[in-house]
Amino acid sequence: MQPIYRTADLRRIEQAFIAAEPTISLMERAGLAAAEKARAMLGDGFRVLVVCGPGNNGGDGLVVARHLQAWGYRVAVTLLADPERLPTDAAQAYRHLIQSGANPLSQLPDEQRWDLIIDGLFGIGLSRNIETPFTDAIDWINKSGSPVLALDIPSGLDSDNGNVLGICINATETISFIGLKPGLLTADGKDYCGQISVASLEIDTERFIAAQGHLLDQQAIVAHVPHRRANSHKGNFGSVGIVGGAKGMQGAAALAGRAALQMGAGRVYLGTQAPLATGYDPVQPELMWRDAEELLALPHLNALVVGPGMGQSETARLLLARCIESPLPLLLDADALNLIAAHEPLQAALATRRQATLITPHPTEAARLLDCDTAAIQRRRLDAALELAEQYRAAVVLKGAGSICALPDGRWFINPTGNPGLASGGTGDVLSGMIGALLAQGLNGEQALQLGVYLHGAAADSLVEKNIGPIGLTASEIIGEARGLLNTWIYTPHSMRDTPLLI
């Protein structure tokens, strides 16, 4: 999986590399890599505007301009800073540009349409809202209608959490130096970065810092799912118990159950607090309905999913307390999380569990668990996910754009799949059922969480590619698409031919 680094770690890597290789200019390497990316984006175009700010990101832009000019492009440079106050490396880049015959402007040109605009205003060091004249420059670039290449990160985007700091460049592509940053991949980052590429600058980052964060990757996580032997029976694939379904909310439990079945669980039981009028699910009659108390007494369950449609009654609280005491792997979602947030004894019991525990909050549920508001969670998504994992000793997915999976040992992962079609009722219930089925089939908590989250988003992406969504995409549609993708990933034509042919 690709590593992801926070700003502080990137600074440490840069400093360690410079100490080890003092004769190498990282700014020159970054500028050359970005110039090559710009050349690829330009195609037959030749008119380029490079907009530079007062820091080293602006210095990167000055190096880009020098290379493009040397390659024969028509390059205009706007430097929105005092050349006398540039940092050392950026000042040297400015002198080299002047020596090449360029004459940087101190303001944006009158001409607004360019074949490419390069954003070198602010890099990863930005931590407060942008002010004038830079707000005006960003607004001008965004309204220009020109393709935009952002250097390292779109100016105005917080590198560590993906929040917009007042205003942000809307990039066509972003070239990220050294490694990926969390802000590119979560929260607002997915709306502003465009296509992301990484220029390593020939730095072996793991030589200096072992990354705590990684980007989820299909090949790495699917490897944990075993191929099914011909000599199998349903007991080999586990039994899932889903506890929820208070009166009027049985649909949530049904969605989780359908997802668990189609994700490969051998048997799925729904333990509801209110009976179905029909006594069974006519869409998925394979589901076995039980009273919630009866379900918890079943001796052959392999995993529990608790919360879909559970409600927050006293009966629900008592059921949840029993589930937390269970020796089974446990996934908690929806009303189970709201009950935990409201009752300290449940919080204490959860934190002392020895078995695998997974929680799947959306930002508002996370805010209740951490006793803050939703906006505070969104301002620090990564830290919030890690805090939840540590406080509750659980594997966590903080859902949203660029869902964050966090583990109690401090490792974290960002999911690249998914789209706005998932912002609809029931999709969280489907995710819970999918993960519960993977737990029942023997994947550990980390593996089940990563695969479930990645596959859930990939199914939504696959449907959108078929023009099924994002508008109007429903939770039910995710289930079958996820099943199809998982089978495609695992049972390739080559692996299916492992079965001997009878002639």
Q: Is pLDDT of 104 > 60?
A: yes
What pLDDT, on a 0 to 100 scale, did the predictor assign at position 22? 95
Taking residues 395-411, report their average pLDDT. Answer: 98
State both tokens at 101.
């015959």
The CA-based angle 281-286-288, given to 5 degrees, is 75
The three state secondary structure string of 112-174 is: CCCCEEEEECCCCCCCCCCCCCHHHHHHHHHHCCCCEEEECCCCCECCCCCCECCCCCCCCEE
What pLDDT, on a 0 to 100 scale, did the predictor assign at position 283? 87
Read off the pLDDT band of 271 (50, 70, 90): very high
Work out the mean pLDDT of the chain and round it to a whole number.
95
Q: Is pLDDT of 491 > 90?
A: no
What pLDDT, on a 0 to 100 scale, did the predictor assign at position 493? 54
pLDDT digits (tens, 9 = 90+) for 346-356: 999 999 999 99
Q: Identity (one letter) of the amino acid at 129?
A: N
State both tokens at 32.
């050359």
Q: Is pLDDT of 503 > 50?
A: no
What pLDDT, on a 0 to 100 scale, did the predictor assign at position 458? 98
Q: Is pLDDT of 500 > 70?
A: no
Taking residues 16-39, report their average pLDDT. Answer: 97
Lowest mean pLDDT segment, chosen from 234-243, 266-275, 307-316: 266-275
C-alpha span between 164 and 148 (Å, rounded):
17
Percentage of the chain surpassing pLDDT 90? Answer: 91
Q: Which domains does the chain have, with CATH numbers?
A: 3-211 (3.40.50.10260), 218-493 (3.40.1190.20)
| 3-class SS of residue 330 | strand
Taking residues 99-114, report their average pLDDT. Answer: 92
What pLDDT, on a 0 to 100 scale, did the predictor assign at position 280? 74
What pLDDT, on a 0 to 100 scale, did the predictor assign at position 337? 98
Neighbouring CB atoms inside 10 A of 280's CB total: 13
